[in-house]
Amino acid sequence: MGEPVVVWVFVLTVFVMALVGTGWLRSYAVARELMDVPNQRSSHAVPTPRGGGLAVVIAFEAALMAGWAMGALGSDVVFGLGGAGAGVALLGFLDDHGHIPAKWRLAGHFLASGWFLVSLGDLPPIVFGDSVIFSGTALWLFFCLYLVWMLNLYNFMDGIDGLAGVEAVTVCLSGALVSWSAGLASGALLPLLFGGAMAGFLVWNLPPARIFMGDVGSGFAGMTLGGLSLYATVQAPPLFWAWLILLGVFIVDATVTLVRRVLAGYPPHQAHRSHGYQYASRRFRSHRAVTLAVGVINVVWLLPLALLVSWGWLPSVIGLVIAYLPLACLAWLFRSGDVRYQDLSGI
């Protein structure tokens, strides 16, 4: 599948599958009144169908199987990333249709992450300059925690119209460009396929959203993006830092919010609306403005830095710090995790 035309036809097919599938799921949800009803923790004002992320799951999993059948993807990808993603999606689907206790969801997340890492095989150590930061068992535990955090933070950040979709599409396209520009064209296929699936869903989720992703899609998206970053790492270790840069908006907002809430004495799993992006959407009274801003930040600010790191023109950790500092300032400016203002609609 090295021909560009074939690749783009493949990506377009996945896009259409997700687009049509999301539309069907919306009709199904409306007919059966499977609606996300606004409450005091919501960022939307009208009942909206949920569960559209299932179309992304089906489209991407089908793409993995098709790629495997055509010899473009290895069995480690299908059974590793596909299996871990399917497990997380199943947990999210069950939670969407009936509450699953947080401890059991977390146990499932660790099991899926472990499954993926075992399928991945040997991972290169994380280094800073000439020093090894993580290797061996410590490296495995670090990446396991990283995957669990990625899939949970994506659920936390899926709170306003279009945000999770725009994040996934821009990060995937950027990640594909980073791999291609680093001379690893084969590493661009998976991000393009997942980006195509998310783009199909995004057509229905752009503000004002006509359907929400639901836990079935948000957890799957977080696991998949985390997995894609580790596949890139296996191909070229500096690409791990490049992907961390590309994912910076979600990582910084979610991490700052969680740390501030835990320090204030709130349980980490408690529902809330004190993320920076939620404060920003209320301050500007617009989901569209915040979602568009995140897309612009990803493309205009984070992508160039990720490219410089992947080319070796900028030291990895220095590039990460340069990328994250303005994001941390924005998180502070928009009061990420500041519980004093989370219930004030005018802020």
Please report the beta strands in the chain, taking only residues with DSSP state E, as ranges in sequence order. 35-36, 48-49, 126-128, 131-134
Query: In whole angstroms, how far apart are CA 122 and each of 135, 140, 143, 158, 191?
Result: 10, 9, 12, 32, 21
Query: Which tokens sit at 55?
Result: 């179309």
- Is residue 155 marked as binding? yes
DSSP state string for 146-157: HHHHHHHHHHHH
Query: Which tokens sit at 274?
Result: 């004190």
Kindly give, in sequence order, each residue whose CB lies less than 8 Å from that of residue 103, ignoring residues fewer than 6 positions away.
none
Q: How far apart are CA 74 and CA 71, in angstroms?
A: 7
* Helix (H/G/I), strand (E/B), else coil: 275: coil
Beta bridge partners of 36: 48
The percent of the chain in helix, strand and coil, each rounded to the nearest 5, is 70, 5, 25
Query: Cβ atoms within 10 A of the Cβ of 333, count?
Result: 11
- Is residue 205 marked as binding? no
Beta bridge partners of 132: 127
Residue positions forming the annotated binding site for Mg(2+): 155, 215
Residue positions forming the annotated binding site: 155, 215
